[in-house]
A = this chain, B = another copy of it.
Amino acid sequence: MSHAEKKARTTTDEYELIYWPRLPGRGEPIRLLLEEAGASYTDTAHEKDGIQKVVGALKPDFDPGKDNLPGLAPPMLRCGDLFISQSPNIMLFLGERLKLIPGDVEINKYRVNQLVLTMLDLQNEVHDSHHPIAVSLYYDDQKAEAKRKAEDVRNARIPKFFNYFELVIGKSEGPYLLSEFSYADLVLWHLVDGCLYAFPKAMNRQFEKSPKVKELYDTVAKRARIAAYLSSERRQKYDNGIYRYYEELDE
């Protein structure tokens, strides 16, 4: 993509991302869309009173503005008068708005959304590998169950999903999921990155069977704005979020 094309993608809209500080979490795929498009955005993760803003948006008396709905949980996004939540929903909005859906947008948006929803299904299962019983309990309180769950995620679920993504990239002839770059590639990059962090042994074995997914992962990381983001201070380290590393859960 030329510099001029990149410039053309930039929008003058202002976006406000509302998400917990201190971990990439469910906010991260959204950030990747904003960064790839060179969008102008604020992020409560980097604001002094960020936590208060997130907590405030979760109170029953929070006013999201005319005709808007409150969200059950972050991430939430404000753009002008619109306030929305649910990460695949936010990404669909941004994908359309920031031109991260190639070709015939009115058709391809369903294809990209399908892929992203599938990725987030696996992301939820990876989360549940350390929290299979309750999000309100500590890992230590569900360690035995987590060991069983993680075994299934490593040995059955990761292979199932990654074989599917490998098949899809094969059909597009690569390096991306569709015949052109789309925001689904950013979400897959994040999924692979998170799984590599959580299950390094299992994922390095999986890469042998999913060379096209590995190639996509490497290719996306080299996109100019993504590379700049990943080496910036805006990129947060994995912590006690969706993707966690517990040696005992990676065999």
Q: Which B residues lie within 8 Å of A72 (CB)?
A: 118, 121, 160-161, 164
Q: Does A82 contact B (CB under 8 A)?
A: yes
Partner of A82, one of B85, B86, B93, B107: B107
Closest CB-CB distance, A137 to chain B, in whole Å?
8
Q: Which B residues lie within 8 Å of A168 (CB)?
A: 69-70
Q: Does A92 contact B (CB under 8 A)?
A: yes
Closest CB-CB distance, A101 to chain B, in whole Å?
13
Interface centre among A68, A114, A134 (most CB of B within 10 A): A114
Q: Does A6 contact B (CB under 8 A)?
A: no
Q: Does A128 contact B (CB under 8 A)?
A: yes
Closest CB-CB distance, A105 to chain B, in whole Å?
12
Q: Does A145 contact B (CB under 8 A)?
A: yes
As a 0/1 sequence over residues 74 to 97 of chain A, the CB contacts with chain B under 8 angstroms (1 = contact) are: 000000001011101100110000
Known: A60-B167, A70-B167, A133-B148. A89 touches B113 (CB 8 A): yes
Q: Which B residues lie within 8 Å of A67 (CB)?
A: 107, 111
Q: Are the C-beta atoms of B69 and A115 separated by less than 8 Å?
A: yes
Partner of A136, one of B93, B121, B152: B152
Q: Are the C-beta atoms of B128 and A114 separated by less than 8 Å?
A: no
Q: Which residues of A contact B (CB under 8 A)?
A: 60, 67-72, 82, 84-86, 88-89, 92-93, 107, 110-111, 113-115, 117-118, 121, 124, 128, 132-134, 136-137, 142, 145, 148-149, 152, 156, 160-161, 164, 167-168, 171
